[in-house]
A and B are shown apart, each in its own frame.
Chain A
Amino acid sequence: MLKQSGIFSIISATLLTLFFSLISLEISAQAILEPVKVGLIVPLSGPWARPGQVMRVAAELAVEEINEQGGIAALGGAPLELVVYDAGDNVERAKNAAQRMVAEEPDLIGAVGAYLSSFTLAVTEVTERAEVPILTLSYSDLITSRGFNYVFQTSASGAVQSSGALPVLMDMAESASGHRPETIAIIMDNTAASEAFVKPFFETNILEEYGLELVVNEVFTPPLANATSLIQHIRAEQPDLLLLLPTAISDTKLLLEKMNEFRLGRGLIPTISNGAAMGDPDLLSNMPGFLLEGVMSIVANWSTRGQEELIDKFKDVSGEPWMTQHPLSTYGHVWLFKQALEQSSSRDSTVIANTLRNMTLSDGAVNYFPGNSLSFDQTGKRIDAGILVIQWQEGEPITVFPEREALRSILWPGE
């Protein structure tokens, strides 16, 4: 009797243990496999909806690929989940969206956003207080100069782009044509972005240092009514380099048409602009492609060598003719989060932020940004963020410099 009851209690104890361990296993499996949430906060409505939509496609593509490859291994294969928030058409909306994001998603490990630098500034005011790390492609210097701990800028900042532009241009010109340029012309509008870009040229003696003579310096107030006198000035001076900095598409078109008319177009005078806008697919719906031929632009990121497979896939999914800076960086940001998750094995956003701050990447996500290694300083600025030069060739803006990342070689007049 005693024996029987002993066996019975052993069996029941074993069964109970098994039962509970199964339950707890089930629970822990659920816990592990609960998706890791990453936010995407970009304008999906209003005037900036198009770039926002394209960024969304890229982010979704990255999430899909990561999940197909088994999710976050360090977290038991937990899948990534993208939560999307519309930053709307003004700063107030962007801030509201960010507040809604952190309120609705308390277990967010980080977010990507928010396209316009003013939106990024507002969004990061919220995420900083909520201790959620943000990866951004916005390149305003203000973003990383506020002493924030939870914002990481992967693009070369505005100041870096403008002060780094001239050495890159000189190197590029020399390697393409065999001699260093001696004269430079500037045609620009008086918008903030253009003014900021040329600031170091006038506030330091960088032009002298590089032995450059400024032969034309024309500033216009957009919209431009007539580009004739500006381009005539260029034809008269025949500079070795032309820095062309319009912001509105209509002004770009007018200037390029006039250059073509005066037979200075198609790269006859090396023409360089700044920013991803000069490589936007939208340009082609506003002007014939031949006008853009040969035009170059300095950008913080663009499709480079080794990304061919990704670009094809992206073009397929999005219907876009090529992959610009915005989707590419966004795609890279999601992969960067994946690497930080793997490295930290944590779902804690503060831990992820710490990991991002302290890691130095030489593989993985680094492939989606210019340069060989990726790390951030204490302010969240990328250390040694490089810049790329793209050039319109056969109706498509293609990375042409630096050579190790270039998809094609640069076309320089006189070659």
Chain B
Amino acid sequence: MNLKRDILSIGLFCLVYSILALFIDNSYYLLLMTIVPIWAMMGMSWNLFSGYSGLISFGHAAFFGLGAYLVAILLGNWNVSPWIGVPLAGVLGGLAAALVGIPTFRLRGHYFALAMLAYPLALLYIFEWLGFQELALPMKREAPALFMQFENQHIYVFIALFLLAMAMVVTSFLSRSRFGMSLLALKQDEEAAEASGINTHMWKVFAIAISGALAGVAGGFYAVVLLVVTPLAVFGMLVSAQALVIAMFGGVGTLWGPIIGAFILVPLSEILYAQYAADFPGIQGVIYGVAIMTVILVAPEGVIWKIKTWLRPKQARVIGATTCQLNTLVNEDILAVEQSDIKTNDILKVENLSKAFGGLKAIQNLSFSVQQGELLGVIGPNGAGKTTLFNLLNGFQTPDAGTVTFRDKPLKKLRPNKICHLGVARTFQVPKPFTRISVFDNVVVGAYVRSRTNHEASELASAALKLVGLQALANSPAANLTNRELRLMELARALASKPALILVDEILAGLDSAATKAVVHALKKVTTLGITIVIIEHSMKTMVELVDRFIVLDHGALLTEGSPENIVKDEKVIEAYLGKKWLEANAEVK
């Protein structure tokens, strides 16, 4: 429904723009009307990757430049028309981006941004070294239209507009699909996204490839319009910066943001040049800079968000939206573990597991197993290695020694999303919601791993929300939730992946008694579906009532295990928690 509305507004926008162009005869304005959509497309390319994934790229000029050079070299050396060259530029941009992405995604944050900066700089020197300081697209006096050369400048405007419209439809479609939601999720919390079964690496490579393809097409057509290609003009810092500024100015992570950015900034800067540059050289740069700074200060998330806040000040903001729909009538049983999948009684086996951080032995030679359908409590004093154990179990960390077997399958060196795919979900000690998207979409992201279609994802997410009792809040942004609701939403997100085992990390921390009751109720409902739970918790009172069995960790090693009744009486456990002195003092009293 939303996609249709987008396409309709894109169509309307193109229609208005075309009509406007038809009324203009001034060749300079027509040139501007051609260049603005190219930069808008470049902004969209940047936005599709960086805006949605949150990984800042300073290197989009690399793909833009490769596209431009490909078109120029094909036409200049082999007489290949840009009609073929521009689409090929898209292919080259996409391939180059994927190639660049695969090694660079090992880096995070600033390191990633800096590494991306290096690619266009390197290409700039390589193209200079290759002797491509200046390339001119040869003028075709015979059959110019075959080579994308037109006397009538309106045609350039239409081509630019067509390419932009394509980029918009692609962005609109992708942002509403699994792709967009997965990227938005990993932008907000990469760990939570991985644990929810999203193959973050694959999505990032896919995102940068599509983004690179758009940049390549933009660059290819830029060469056609400019007719001259120099390394500085297409690989220069300004190109990457322009893409970034346009997207940030307009609004990051939105469809119309880059359009607004390009349609304001490019003509503004041109007009300033035209009006003042000859009389006050450089003044245009100052005014342009001040304008950008003002907007960043007043509307740090971009113009489009500011406008949205003005129009609907009270409404909480949710970015993106899946095409998934909440189904209130869904049956919770669809989350139940399939009997056919139960092949062994020990669902999880941990043998001789060890992990050290430098000199600190977080987990030492730990062995235990978890029974199918059981609710196992993991306790131990602070620093006993409980959360590290969970991180080893779901793949955030790799063990130094030992094995973990889930349903007879070793989990050696599997990434978290793969482990999630096998049926191990988790929640976090500190909740990791995707704050900017709705509660329902948060849970939908969790469902992706177990669903092929949006319908399936909707059903799973609806069932999970129903089970934890958050259906009423489905459409509010995750950022507005209370602590209790957040815990329940995380549980629902884990459930939506239809797991056989959920690792629950201190889900009751900081909850009052009423909230605790609600969460415990939900956990008990989960076990009725045949789902196994391993839970870390400090509140012994609740735990004793909840769990079937305990394992107790101290200094990363297994202290003891047993039923709740036995554990609370165990002297070793009391000593570990309260210390020898307490034990001795109490013994004297006795």
Interface residues of chain A, those whose CB is within 8 Å of chain B, are 44-46, 49, 53, 84-86, 88, 90-93, 95-97, 99-100, 102-104, 117-118, 121-122, 125, 128-130, 140, 142, 146-148, 190-192, 195
Contacts and interface: CB of A to CB of B under 8 A. Distances in A.
Given A92-B233, A118-B233, A86 B27 contact: no
B273 A88 contact: yes
Interface in B255-312: 270, 273-274, 277-278, 281-282, 284-285
Contacts of B31: 95-96, 99
Contacts of A93: 273
A401 to B, nearest CB: 29
B184 interface: no
B585 interface: no
B139 A91 contact: no
A319 to B, nearest CB: 16
Given A45-B282, A45-B285, A102-B27, A95 B139 contact: no
A222 B541 CA distance: 72
B28 A45 contact: no
B35 A96 contact: yes
Nearest to B229: A91
A44 B232 CA distance: 19
B133 interface: yes
Most central of B26, B138, B227, B228 by chain A CB within 10 Å: B228
Contact of B228 (A84, A104, A121): A121
Contacts of A84: 278
A146 B139 CA distance: 7
A46 to B, nearest CB: 8
A148 B32 CA distance: 24
A44 B139 contact: no
A92 B282 contact: no
B271 to A, nearest CB: 10
B29 A44 contact: no
Nearest to A118: B230
Contact of A90 (B32, B35, B139, B238): B238
Nearest to A148: B139
Nearest to B25: A103
B378 to A, nearest CB: 59
B131 A192 contact: yes
Contact of A95 (B138, B226, B277, B284): B226
B277 A122 contact: no
Interface in B214-232: 226-228, 230, 232
5 contacts: A49-B281, A96-B31, A117-B134, A146-B136, A192-B133
B128 interface: yes
B282 A49 contact: yes
Considering the complex of A and B, which 4 residue pairs feature the smallest CB-CB distances, nearest first? Answer: A103-B28, A86-B277, A91-B233, A125-B227
A190 B129 CA distance: 8
B402 interface: no
Interface of B: 26-29, 31-32, 35, 128-129, 131, 133-134, 136, 138-139, 151, 226-228, 230, 232-233, 236, 238, 270, 273-274, 277-278, 281-282, 284-285
A88 B277 contact: yes
Contacts of A190: 129
A91 B238 contact: no
Contacts of A130: 27
Contacts of A122: 226-228
A129 B11 CA distance: 33
Given A96-B35, A118-B233, A192-B131, 8 more contacts: A44-B278, A91-B233, A95-B227, A96-B270, A118-B232, A121-B228, A146-B139, A147-B139
A9 B179 CA distance: 92
Contacts of B277: 44-45, 86, 88
A385 to B, nearest CB: 20
A88 B278 CA distance: 10
B173 to A, nearest CB: 30
A93 B285 CA distance: 13
A85 B278 contact: yes
A99 B278 CA distance: 16
Contacts of B226: 91-92, 95, 122, 125
Given A44-B281, A49-B282, A90 B236 contact: yes
Contacts of A142: 134, 136
A102 B25 CA distance: 13
A100 B28 contact: yes
A96 B227 contact: no
Most central of B128, B129, B226 by chain A CB within 10 Å: B226
A105 to B, nearest CB: 11
Given A85-B278, A88-B277, A99-B27, A146 B138 contact: yes
A90 B128 contact: no
Given A96-B35, A142-B134, A192-B131, A91 B230 contact: yes
A85 B284 CA distance: 14
A45 B136 CA distance: 24
B228 A95 contact: yes
A174 B271 CA distance: 57
Nearest to A83: B278
Contacts of A92: 35, 226, 233
Contacts of A100: 28, 274
Contacts of B230: 91, 118
B233 A45 contact: no
A326 to B, nearest CB: 16
A32 B128 CA distance: 50
A153 to B, nearest CB: 14
A125 B228 contact: yes
B151 to A, nearest CB: 8
Contacts of B27: 99, 102-103, 130
A96 B134 contact: no
A96 B227 CA distance: 12
Given A96-B31, A146-B138, A86 B227 contact: no
A98 B273 CA distance: 13
B264 to A, nearest CB: 17
Contacts of B134: 117-118, 121, 140, 142
